[in-house]
Amino acid sequence: MEPSTKDRVTEAALRLFSEKGYLGASLSDIAKQVGISKAALYKHFASKQEILDCIVARMDELDSERLQRFSMPGNELGGTAAYKEIPAEKIRAYSKAQFLHWTEEEFSSRFRKMLTLEQYRDSGMAGLYQKYLAGGPIEYMASVFADITGSKDAALHLALEFYGPMFLLYGLSDGGMSKARALELLEDHVSRFIDQMEAGRACCVAGKEGSR
């Protein structure tokens, strides 16, 4: 099915935002990219902000779809108790899907590049950058690990330890590292992390049993 004009506008706008920046792309530029007049564009969007809002809504849909596809806990704090029951293979698969989402899938990778370009120039973009790529993922992972560790501080350190290498690999992939090598390093990192977590949990259980 052919994409609607509204979808074409959204995709063209994101493409321009990721190349020229949100502030650097005008509505006239977007209309020209789609092949319509500026007046025709106004029939679908009243402003550039409305286009951005539509892009953000689509990103939220993609996040929700991915969580459901891998049966992962939602983003709400305190709603992650089921995480420790998820098989290690599913965690590996979800981590890989997240990496490909941000580096290979066109819509989301362009969204990441747009936020990276604009985070220092616009406070709204800085907020979105934090939500999707920095503070948000750390907050989510910390809420996951808090249920496992019982300590907010320990959970935060684990979240940084888990997410930090993944975030760094986004940049290495942008800089020319092959996707295959980046994925190999990511999978090795996740496997090591899971092994350490399971070893630590086993020691904790053994310690509790030995104290009885």
Q: What is the mean pLDDT of residues 97-124?
A: 95
Lowest mean pLDDT among 154-163, 171-180, 196-205: 196-205
Q: Locate 61 and state its tokens.
A: 């849909």
* Nearest Cα to Cα of residue 14 among 113, 93, 144: 113
Give the DSSP letter string of 29-49. Answer: HHHHHHTS-HHHHHTT-SSHH
Residue 75 clears pLDDT 60, i.e. is over it? no
Residue 204 clears pLDDT 50, i.e. is over it? no
* Nearest Cα to Cα of residue 182 among 194, 193, 167: 167
Residue 81 clears pLDDT 60, i.e. is over it? no
**How confident is the model at residue 153, as a pLDDT?**
92
Band of the pLDDT at 194, cuts 50, 70, 90?
A: confident
**How confident is the model at residue 85, as a pLDDT?**
60
What is the distance between the alpha carbons of residues 137 and 33, in angstroms, rounded to a whole number? 33
Tell me: the pLDDT tens digits for 114-161?
A: 999 999 999 999 999 999 999 999 998 888 788 777 788 988 999 999
